[in-house]
Amino acid sequence: MTEFVKITSVQNDIVKYAVKLQNSKFRKSEKMIFADGEKTISGFINDNIEIEYLFLKEENQIYKNANAKKVVFVTDEILKKISSVKTPSSAAAILKEPDIDADEICNLNKIALFEDIKDAGNLGTILRSAAAFSIEGIVLFGDCVDLYNTKVIRSTAQNIFKLPIIRTSDKDYIKKLKNNHKLIATVVDSNKSFSKEYFGDKFILAFGSEAAGLSKDLRDLSDEALSLKMDNNVESLNLAVCASIAFALIKLN
């Protein structure tokens, strides 16, 4: 049953907790997520995602359809205090971080892997495109941006929980995935064109970081290396754009 609370002080402990959750280290230790923006929160509500705390002004009626344990009515001042952007959001929420079993990824067919991705906007766009083009699971490998960074969440356009995502630095886990999946490296120097390649039923499509590309370790592990062919007057594509094109091509094959 939903509990309703009204808070008017920015010194309230729940408000302080929401602010602290925007610190990645604290968030990870708590295994909780802070998200803001009415479009994002409405997406969670439409997908029936369980919300621990839903922050709203009293006149905002979106709580009526929310799967929320606690609805917290707050002031403009509090929304400004907890907002992660300069223009305060009209809604915010605290949610539990999903507990994804690594073996769940092993049982999927179409997997995308990203190594050392650092840009939050890129990751959010990638997750949105993956959900749109039937990628079934994501592996974030190595030193990646915090998956539940508020900018990542906003950039997914409500799709952060649409598919399972795990984070690992364990190369043995990638080898385990390879037992039943073809590992395909995306590189800039392959003579094999991405659009002409048959992927098979079970694959892991691997992308490297924005700055360095895939590491030698992952390239050496891969079964195939493919490139997106471009006109010669373009040096490279943004990682999120490259991944989105790749996902679309796979869906068309």
β-partners of residue 129 are: none
What are 123-142's pLDDT values in tens digits? Answer: 999 999 999 999 999 999 99
Percentage of the chain with pLDDT > 90?
A: 81
What is the average pLDDT score of the chain? 93
What CATH number did the domain enclosing 115 receive?
A: 3.40.1280.10
The backbone region for 73, taken as left when phi is positive above 0, alpha when psi lies in -120 to 50, beta otherwise, is beta
Going by pLDDT thresholds of 50, 70 and 90, the confidence category of residue 14 is very high
> Mean pLDDT, to the nearest integer, of 41-50?
94
What CATH number did the domain enclosing 61 receive?
A: 3.30.1330.30
Are 116 and 61 contained in the same domain?
no
Instruction: Give DSSP secondary structure letters for 122-189.
Output: HHHHHHHHHHHTT--EEEEESS---TT-HHHHHHTTT-TTSS-EEEE--HHHHHHHHTTSEEEEE-SS
Confirm if 149 and 120 have CB atoms less than 8 A apart.
Answer: yes
> Mean pLDDT, to the nearest integer, of 73-82?
95
Cα(166)–Cα(141) distance, integer angstroms: 8
What are 193-230's pLDDT values in tens digits? Answer: 776 667 788 999 999 998 889 999 999 999 999 988 77
Which range marks the domain in which residue 21 is found? Answer: 3-96
Are 40 and 23 contained in the same domain?
yes
Q: How many structural domains is the chain composed of?
A: 2
Are 123 and 240 contained in the same domain?
yes
What are 152-181's pLDDT values in tens digits? Answer: 999 998 899 999 999 999 999 999 999 999
Going by pLDDT thresholds of 50, 70 and 90, the confidence category of residue 40 is very high
What's the confidence (pLDDT) of residue 18? 97
Q: What is the 3-state secondary structure (H, E, C) of 44-89?
A: HHHCCCCEEEEEECCCCCHHHHCCEEEEEECCHHHHHHHCCCCCCC
pLDDT at 188 over 80: yes
